[in-house]
Homo-oligomer: A and B are copies of this chain.
Amino acid sequence: MRTAEPAPAGTLGAGRDSSRCAGHDSSHGAPLSPIAIDADLRRIVGPEHVEIRPAALVPYRTDATFGFSGVPQAVVRPGSTEEVARILRWADRHRIPIVPRGAGTSLAAGAVPVQGGVVLALTRMDRVVAVDPVDLTAVVQPGVTTQTLARAVAEYGLHYPPDPGSQRVSTLGGNVATNAGGLHGLKYGNTGGYVLGVEAVLADGEVIRAGGRLLKDVAGYDLVRLLTGSEGTLAVLTELTLALRPAPATSRTGLAYFADLEAAGEAVRGIVAAGVLPATLEFLDAHCVRAVESYARLGLDTTAGALLLFGDDGGAPEVDRTLHVMAETARSHGALSVQVATAAAESEALLAARRCALPALSKLGGATMLEDVGVPRSRLPELVRRIDEIAARHGVTIATFGHAGDGNAHPVGCFDPGDARQRAAVAAAFDDVFAVAVELGGTITGEHGVGAAKLPYLAAQLGGAQVALQARIKRAFDPKGILNPGKLGS
């Protein structure tokens, strides 16, 4: 389903589906002129918060996904829920697509305006409204970055566990809209587990509030969780109430090398069987270990077939105990060597191997295509073995790292961006990878989302009846199809 033509000159990426990238569908009623769009939006948010100049719109054609682009007609930056509501009432009246956007770090083309329309950038709504250390909640606007919240709550001795890889820049609105994951899924779960309440603007401009500063609330269908992960296709999130936890007193990390991923997988089984739910349990395959070492010179053992990072947080005696159990379990399951950090700086050094996996891989061939599949934890070694077979069959390099604790793997296709044949082969290999993930009882996306990139694969996982049901849910929220069209529910 991926096309492999080189990026056309003048765009930042290749529109893989360029026939749908021609501004908003004219069947949506008489289209407004760019001048009229500009004038209408300026009246709502003020002239300094609207852009229609093509050069200024270039950054909004793409997000962080390789090979997807669209052509927005405008970008608008509202400053309040009321402005969002007015924009949606206007868009609803004129049937203009609205593409909500945070920091634009989507890896599934979730923020690409594939059917044109107006990009609704929520980055101005960036206020931490409240942190409550008794209710253990934070109330934030959607444009607050993950890291900003983490720092704000740390001042109260509190902890917001979800930490997607892009947390330095990604926004909480985007995190919630995609139910973003991170490194601590096994112990702490994903973003969705921390969303207690939302304020959201429906497609017709109506403002609703669901949930709140409540750990228990079963009044009605769970719209908080339905909107979480709905990728801007059901409503626009304008305020979030998030759950916090007490900050763990300490955290520590260890590292083990194995001959292959099967052996690392056996160690993971052993750790879980020993009753430990580690805060961190990450793996790198041999490709990744070698790429990271060549990139960052961390002193990794490049002869190893797999690297397992393990870590925990909490009270010091308990962390000492779980680190000891994990290190001993790794040893008794054939680890080639095991290191356990004794100090925070050493823990950070070990984690660096995982953190620089993606930049290191991007040096290998020149370009990378990052994927995101998931399987039950017990099937992860089999998944990676099958990915290796697929890569060999297609004659491409796919390196895999990911979350051994929660079964979420990130295979990365490495290729020369100027070599169309290589690119096509990587795309074809990923088609096979998705099919294998589904065959193993898994998912085509563990944490990146569906966006435009995964939509063609969704029915293979969910079945036609469920995809049809999802489209009916979409219509219940957005009968005119103006919210992020060409994505979920389409």
Contacts and interface: CB of A to CB of B under 8 A. Distances in A.
A36 interface: no
Contacts of A466: 208-210, 220, 223
Identical chains bound together, number: 2
Given A212-B441, A269-B134, A462-B210, A229 B223 contact: no
Contact of A181 (B216, B443, B465): B216
Given A216-B181, A458-B219, A226 B229 contact: no
A32 interface: no
A269 to B, nearest CB: 5
B376 A216 contact: no
A186 interface: yes
A72 interface: no
Given A318-B317, A476-B469, A272 B219 contact: no
A377 interface: yes
A446 B222 CA distance: 13
Which interface class (under 10, 10 to 19, 20 to 34, 35 or more) fits A?
35 or more
Interface in A297-335: 314-315, 317-318, 321
A470 B220 contact: yes
A215 B189 contact: yes
A251 to B, nearest CB: 14
Contacts of A245: 277
A131 to B, nearest CB: 13
A444 B212 CA distance: 13
B135 A378 contact: yes
Contacts of A465: 202, 206-208
Interface in A122-171: 132-137, 157
Q: Which of A222, A318, A405, A446 has the most CB of B within 10 A?
A: A222
A285 interface: no
Contacts of A79: none
A411 interface: no
Given A136-B272, A222-B229, 15 more contacts: A181-B218, A190-B216, A208-B469, A209-B463, A213-B441, A214-B376, A214-B442, A214-B443, A217-B446, A218-B449, A221-B229, A221-B234, A221-B474, A221-B488, A246-B275
In the complex, the 9 A-B pairs of residues with the closest C-beta atoms, listed nearest first: A225-B225, A246-B275, A213-B376, A472-B476, A216-B446, A215-B406, A217-B443, A134-B378, A476-B476
20 contacts: A135-B407, A181-B218, A185-B215, A186-B215, A192-B222, A192-B225, A206-B465, A207-B465, A208-B462, A208-B463, A209-B466, A210-B462, A214-B375, A215-B374, A218-B447, A220-B466, A220-B488, A221-B226, A222-B228, A225-B225
Interface of A: 132-137, 157, 178-179, 181, 185-186, 189-190, 192-193, 202, 206-210, 212-223, 225-226, 228-230, 234, 245-247, 249, 269, 272-273, 275-277, 314-315, 317-318, 321, 374-378, 403, 405-408, 441-450, 454, 458, 461-463, 465-467, 469-470, 472-477, 488-489
